[in-house]
A and B are shown apart, each in its own frame.
Chain A
């Protein structure tokens, strides 16, 4: 009898807990995930799966641009900005039932350093971790770094005991490629990238399950846009991110569906080689180039309106954005500059990724406009690694390179520093493909990086944009929206600026 009552109790208790989770969410994705290793979480196909499977110390909630506490309840920064001390929650369980402690945090970071995980690239100046007690840990830096906390949003905390026993001789890369060791709201119950990946709700999750959540998430890998559309229409899937622009336009007005245009922050640039051949080194010539691209037409015709009108290299709604730093489209002025200086007949080379439709169209427009003002633009389509290789040396860098900036977190540092710091030029191994090296800009950027006064930082970044604009270093082509087609049954989907091309499935419920 007692057993019977206990059984009823357990069943009803778990159904109360699970009362918060119901339904199976089907998400289509056109690119199969690389693997499951958190060290690769800078790759969106990996991040897409892991964002709800692992926990982090702090995290950006979808729709917000500052971090909020997660495993770290609170934290303090030392006066010199080189030591961050975190107080951890004591009620976090890993999926195998063990408790998450400071040891796991230290292990995570040590392992990432040893495995040379790409997610460490955003934690500039990280030196090491010190366990103070079971639920307190200090992270040490070599020098202060303003956005440090934001960079922790992709440091997925792994289960030390579990991973340690599977470390092998490659820092657990082989094991973590196909297994998970997380504590997040969902656990991976099936990982078959060629078919589907299934996640199921982890009942004892520390946050609880109030609100509407799904009990299962299934990622299906469908490379054909037309197939994604068909399945969305038939109700077999709920989220289709990879439809053609035309399909998305059509769905906007279709009953039962909605199209979400996440205000993305992944600007597309024409980076002008400031240390290239003589004419490219001339800011006046670059000025003419900047005025030769019609961003409005691109937004209307190529993106079909899905995006924001760019105003400078930083997205307009970000802290620290300064208006009007980049010159607008004015082909007549551009033509005049070219003519007056006898630059007609100049030949330039642009490199880009033809596999990306938007880049292709931008190049075509640019080429056509430049032809009208007497400049011949040669184009060279490449693959990503090949293009990246060409900018590693000054001699092999082309006059213009197209590149997106995918900031890991919504902080001006992530865009401005990555794209304009002289230490991160292409020939220094970074993404400043304009090979732009301006000492004043560098010192402003470095100062802003080590400051924690947000007002001061905004001011410094304003100046950076001003200088970059007057030097005509880049042409910001667009701020494309992250457009996702969804069934009306989905509620709670919000685009997360800190995790591009992912879905906040842990906050989504089905009607």
Chain B
């Protein structure tokens, strides 16, 4: 995984990778280094402009925007990685079954997957929000429901490509159990390409999650989630631009960085897909 540093070719890519490292660090230790309690309201100090003490200013409840942005990093990354972990697991599972079964099962599963490919998560999230109540739960569920087809298709294609390769056939001939082949050979082999998809998806999921929080069906205030923060500061945008600006900037930079790194990975790990040298 740390090979990636060798792949970086220009300053922009280096910057992107550094930002990712930075944001990961923030996600991990942010809570410890934040200058203020992100949930401590102070109605004597609402909407104060960025200053030395409050680097990104304060919001409608007098909270420090900078600390909240730091906390938001942890929340956003943790949620995103959780979702991606689940959907990739489900997707890989289905992809394996489909690829190894072949025939009708393969056909049916893939057609079924195709139909759901790209179902708008925003709308489904609204449905879940109505049923379970708005909150991260609804957002996460909706994303899981709509995102797994990507991984199912991808892993199926990869498995099919790999399963007839020499080293697999010889392993089988040697009597290695199917299960071992799957876990020790097929999946790890596919992983490189899956990793590309994962990296790109991190950006996409972050955008969708913050969008959901913005319209009110994802994270709820006072949770320090970037999308929710933007929604909260929206009505005061003309007098307190910082409440909307900084969380948005955080989303932008994070998404761009993951996108860029995804591109780098694609370039290095999967040359036949990119055509982008």
Q: Does B236 contact A (CB under 8 A)?
A: yes
Q: How far is the CA of A386 from the CA of B133 in the complex (A)?
A: 8
Write the nearest CB–CB distance from A446 to chain B, whole angstroms: 37
| A365 partner, pick from B43, B130, B134, B220, beta carbons under 8 A | B43
Sort chain A's interface into a size bin.
Answer: 20 to 34
Q: How far is the CA of A294 from the CA of B216 in the complex (A)?
A: 27
Are the C-beta atoms of A298 and B221 separated by less than 8 Å? no
Write the nearest CB–CB distance from A19 to chain B, whole angstroms: 44
| B220 partner, pick from A246, A294, A354, A361, beta carbons under 8 A | A354
Q: Does B40 contact A (CB under 8 A)?
A: yes
List of B residues within 8 angstroms of A302 by Cβ: 43
Minimum CB distance partner of A366 in chain B = B41
Q: Which of A335-370 contact B (CB under 8 A)?
A: 354-355, 357, 360-361, 363-365, 367-368
Q: Which of A376-402 contact B (CB under 8 A)?
A: 379-383, 386
| B239 partner, pick from A246, A294, A357, A381, beta carbons under 8 A | A246
Are the C-beta atoms of B41 and A365 separated by less than 8 Å? yes
Q: Does B165 contact A (CB under 8 A)?
A: no
Q: Mark A281-315, 1 if CB is under 8 A from B, else 0.
A: 00000000000001001101110000000000000
Q: Does B89 contact A (CB under 8 A)?
A: no
Q: How far is the CA of A368 from the CA of B46 in the complex (A)?
A: 14
Are the C-beta atoms of A297 and B44 separated by less than 8 Å? yes
Are the C-beta atoms of B40 and A361 separated by less than 8 Å? no
Q: Does A8 contact B (CB under 8 A)?
A: no
| A360 partner, pick from B46, B134, B221, beta carbons under 8 A | B221
Given A246-B239, A355-B216, A361-B61, decide whether A379 and B222 contact each other with a Cβ distance below 8 A. yes
Q: Mark A471-487, 1 if CB is under 8 A from B, else 0.
A: 00000000000000000
Write the nearest CB–CB distance from B154 to chain A, whole angstroms: 36
Are the C-beta atoms of B43 and A297 separated by less than 8 Å? yes
Write the nearest CB–CB distance from A247 to chain B, whole angstroms: 9
Q: How far is the CA of A169 from the CA of B45 in the complex (A)?
A: 59
Q: Mark B167-193, 1 if CB is under 8 A from A, else 0.
A: 000000000000000000000000000
Are the C-beta atoms of A371 and B221 separated by less than 8 Å? no
Are the C-beta atoms of B44 and A364 separated by less than 8 Å? no
Q: Mark A161-194, 1 if CB is under 8 A from B, else 0.
A: 0000000000000000000000000000000000
Q: Does B198 contact A (CB under 8 A)?
A: no
Minimum CB distance partner of A245 in chain B = B235
Are the C-beta atoms of B40 and A368 separated by less than 8 Å? yes
Q: Does A244 contact B (CB under 8 A)?
A: yes
Q: Does A492 contact B (CB under 8 A)?
A: no
Q: Does B42 contact A (CB under 8 A)?
A: yes
Q: Does A276 contact B (CB under 8 A)?
A: no
List of B residues within 8 angstroms of A383 by Cβ: 130, 133-134
Given A355-B216, A364-B61, A371-B40, decide whether A244 and B235 contact each other with a Cβ distance below 8 A. yes
Are the C-beta atoms of A381 and B220 separated by less than 8 Å? yes
Are the C-beta atoms of B61 and A365 separated by less than 8 Å? yes
Q: Which of the listed residues B133, B135, B236, B239 has the most CB atoms from chain A within 10 Å of its own CB?
A: B133
Q: How far is the CA of A78 from the CA of B15 in the complex (A)?
A: 86
Write the nearest CB–CB distance from A257 to chain B, whole angstroms: 18
List of A residues within 8 angstroms of B39 by Cβ: 367-368, 371
Q: Which of B114-141 contact A (CB under 8 A)?
A: 130, 133-135
Are the C-beta atoms of A368 and B42 separated by less than 8 Å? yes
Q: Does A225 contact B (CB under 8 A)?
A: yes
List of B residues within 8 angstroms of A355 by Cβ: 216
Q: How far is the CA of A457 from the CA of B164 in the complex (A)?
A: 90
Q: How far is the CA of A380 from the CA of B39 in the complex (A)?
A: 15
Q: How far is the CA of A363 from the CA of B222 in the complex (A)?
A: 9
Are the C-beta atoms of B235 and A361 separated by less than 8 Å? no
Minimum CB distance partner of B41 in chain A = A368
Q: How far is the CA of A380 from the CA of B221 in the complex (A)?
A: 9
Minimum CB distance partner of B239 in chain A = A246
| B46 partner, pick from A244, A301, A357, A386, beta carbons under 8 A | A301
Q: How far is the CA of A379 from the CA of B222 in the complex (A)?
A: 8
Q: Mark B208-250, 1 if CB is under 8 A from A, else 0.
A: 0000000010001110000000000001100100000000000
Q: Does B60 contact A (CB under 8 A)?
A: yes
Q: How far is the CA of A246 from the CA of B239 in the complex (A)?
A: 9
Are the C-beta atoms of B216 and A298 separated by less than 8 Å? no
Q: How far is the CA of A357 from the CA of B39 in the complex (A)?
A: 17
Minimum CB distance partner of A379 in chain B = B222
Q: How far is the CA of A246 from the CA of B233 in the complex (A)?
A: 13
List of A residues within 8 angstroms of B135 by Cβ: 381
Q: How far is the CA of A464 from the CA of B152 in the complex (A)?
A: 65
Are the C-beta atoms of B41 and A364 separated by less than 8 Å? yes
Q: How far is the CA of A300 from the CA of B134 in the complex (A)?
A: 30
Given A246-B239, A381-B134, decide whether A367 and B43 contact each other with a Cβ distance below 8 A. no
Are the C-beta atoms of B222 and A361 separated by less than 8 Å? no
Write the nearest CB–CB distance from B225 to chain A, whole angstroms: 13
List of B residues within 8 angstroms of A357 by Cβ: 235
List of A residues within 8 angstroms of B60 by Cβ: 361
Rank and list the top 7 A-B pairs by shortest CB-CB distance, nearest first. Answer: A368-B41, A301-B43, A381-B220, A364-B61, A364-B41, A297-B43, A244-B235
**A and B contact pairs by CB, cutoff 8 A, 5 listed:** A225-B235, A246-B235, A363-B222, A365-B41, A368-B39
Given contacts A294-B43, A382-B134, list 19 more A-B pairs with CB under 8 A: A297-B44, A300-B43, A301-B43, A354-B216, A355-B216, A361-B61, A364-B221, A365-B41, A367-B41, A368-B40, A368-B42, A371-B39, A379-B220, A380-B133, A380-B220, A381-B134, A381-B135, A382-B133, A386-B133
A-side residues, CB < 8 A to B, are 225, 244, 246, 294, 297-298, 300-302, 354-355, 357, 360-361, 363-365, 367-368, 371, 379-383, 386
